[in-house]
Structure 1
Amino acid sequence: MIYVGLTGWGDHPDVYSPGSKKTEKLIDYSAHFPIVELDSSFYAVQPERNIRKWIEETPEAFQFVVKAYQGMTGHQRGENPFESREAMFEAYIRSIRPLKEAGKLAMVLLQFPPWFDCTKENVEQLKEAAGKLHEFDVAVEFRHQSWYAPDLKEKTIDFLTDHNLIHSVCDEPQAGEGSIPFVPIPSRKDKVLVRLHGRNVHGWLNPGNAQKWREVRYLYDYNQQELAEISRAVQSLNKSVDQVYVIFNNNSGGHAAGDAKEFQQMNELEFEGLSSKQMDLFEGGF
């Protein structure tokens, strides 16, 4: 089964019903897509009340791919609010556990930074983080090219398989060691994650100041040929994996929703159990 969704639900105006309130964005979003990547959990461990609100606002079969908190993967910006690494993981686990209990947690995403290269020390750090999250399905996304060097690519996939970790397959600009190639190989038979970051090479290398980097890095609109290429890889994954989660993250210019809808139509995907709050904005648009 192939599932399609976007990164976050708060910045996709094309999916909102006319006159919708800010507090209804997730409800509108879940009328179109069966999954979403929860990225606010990267910036702060979310209060349990937020998690329970999102559970209530989404259909029974709706699934969340939840990004790990930044301090858990070496991205920490500013002061870490937790007194210890143990306390940080405990708070994060308490925060997201209701999603698992509700049957709405697809996986936790450990996305490591571009400087997290393939070294023995970093392998141990990865094992430690994944071990603390053992009660959840955990996906791993690398950003340093060394993990996919010709002599290490197979070992990387084998490592993920041996530790029951989900491979995060990425489509992103090929811009040196701080980016990874598209490697559509699963590490588990039940789940694989495909994250589509766009192919804006200039923006990837020159994202500008810290406040504007997301606006530049993920500014990209996939064309039909590129979506067809990705579709072939996803369909191939779908033959060997039970559930393929496809997340569009190319939203700096608002392209993610339209590209996801085009991908959905291209692959003749229909999703059941969506929110009943429907709108026909995309009908006949492609």
Structure 2
Amino acid sequence: MIQIGLTGWGDHPDLYVSSAKEKLQDYSAHFPVVELDASFYAIQPIKNSLKWIKETPADFQFVVKAYQGITGHLRGDFPFESTTEMFELYRKSIMPFKEAGKLAMVLVQFPPWFRCETENVTYLRKVREELKDFDVVIEFRHQSWYAPEYQQSTVQFLRSHQFHHSVCDEPQAGEGSIPLVPIATSDKVLIRLHGRNTYGWINHGNKEKWREVRYLYDYNKEELTYIKSICEQLHEQAKDVILLFNNNSGGHAANNAKTFQQMLGVKFDGLAPKQLDLFEEDF
């Protein structure tokens, strides 16, 4: 099965018909899966998880990002008594998704400074143990994991520890970006499309608006054709492929995803009823 979605449901005005409070319901009329980003910035109250579960169709899936304290992005004070408490609270926050059958996977996205080193390999083992009851997908951001002398070992490590692999399309801008490595390490694989804005990837500019710069990109037909070939190649390796567009800054993600869906010729069953606006243009 190939599922297509976007990272987050709050930045796609072309999809909304209802009020601002019903963006997730509107989103779920178009796509069967979404990446939940709020869980990266803070461990979410269980009431939020239950709310999002209730607002989506029975077969809808969430790719839930790991909390930034887990991935090493956290800056400032550590708001927990211990890492044990942090992992315990995070597990409790995502358990409702699993119990509802709506947890596609937990996305553990490491930062660009997380290198292929012994201490980090050890930490990956800790993550696997702490999240042993969940499907976990690993995304690296440092090229060392895919260096010629380490790539085979990286792939084998992911396989042997039952980690899914996050395959990324992103600007090739030095050590802080990874090559596209179309290898599945399990029966599921995640493809994340970050755009190809090399200048924005390197030059973040205003720290408050770095996301707006980094993910400003509109994939063209030729690029989507290439990604289609990668998607099909990965589908031969894995039963389930989840593909997420993360080029949200300029509002391009939804249209790129719709175009890509048409190119694949796939239809999604079990979506929420679409509330058509009188003046809405069909995608």
TM range (shorter): over 0.9
Structure 1 residue ranges, 4+ long, deviating more than 4 angstroms after superposition: none
Tell me the distance in 2 between the aligned counterparts of 1:277 and 1:266: 22
Tell me the distance in 2 between the aligned counterparts of 1:67 and 1:235: 25
The equivalent of 2:4 in structure 1 is 4
TM-score, normalised with respect to structure 1? 0.96
Cα shift readout 1:101-153 (whole Å, capped 9, x = no counterpart): 00000000100000000000111111111210010000000000000001111
In structure 2, do the counterparts of structure 1 residues 282 and 271 end up closer, same or farther at CA, with 3 Å as the change threshold?
farther
Using the TM superposition, give the Cα deviation of residue 240 of structure 1 relative to its aligned residue in structure 2, in angstroms.
Answer: 2.2
The alignment-based identity, stated in percent, is 63
Structure 1: any 5+ residue segments left out of the alignment? none
Matched, 1:179 2:177: yes
The equivalent of 2:264 in structure 1 is 267
Using the TM superposition, give the Cα deviation of residue 272 of structure 1 relative to its aligned residue in structure 2, in angstroms.
Answer: 0.3
Once the two structures are superposed, the pairs formed by residues 82-97 of structure 1 within 5 Å of their partners are 82-97=80-95
Using the TM superposition, give the Cα deviation of residue 80 of structure 1 relative to its aligned residue in structure 2, in angstroms.
Answer: 2.0
In structure 2, do the counterparts of structure 1 residues 15 and 113 end up closer, same or farther at CA, with 3 Å as the change threshold?
same
The equivalent of 1:256 in structure 2 is 253
Root mean square deviation of aligned Cα = 1.0
Tell me the distance in 1 between the aligned counterparts of 2:88 and 2:39: 14
Contact 1:16 1:29 in 2 (8 A): yes
The equivalent of 2:53 in structure 1 is 55
Using the TM superposition, give the Cα deviation of residue 155 of structure 1 relative to its aligned residue in structure 2, in angstroms.
Answer: 1.0
Cα shift readout 1:201-251 (whole Å, capped 9, x = no counterpart): 000000113211100000000000000000001011112211100000001
Secondary structure, counterpart of 1:160 in structure 2? helix
In structure 2, do the counterparts of structure 1 residues 79 and 174 end up closer, same or farther at CA, with 3 Å as the change threshold?
same
Cα shift readout 1:67-124 (whole Å, capped 9, x = no counterpart): 0000001000222211111111111100010000000000001000000000001111
Tell me the distance in 1 between the aligned counterparts of 2:193 and 2:275: 26
Aligned length: 281
Tell me the distance in 2 between the aligned counterparts of 1:278 and 1:78: 44
Using the TM superposition, give the Cα deviation of residue 11 of structure 1 relative to its aligned residue in structure 2, in angstroms.
Answer: 1.0
Tell me the distance in 2 between the aligned counterparts of 1:257 and 1:282: 14
| Match 1:165 to one of 163, 166, 169 | 163
Tell me the distance in 1 between the aligned counterparts of 2:133 and 2:215: 32
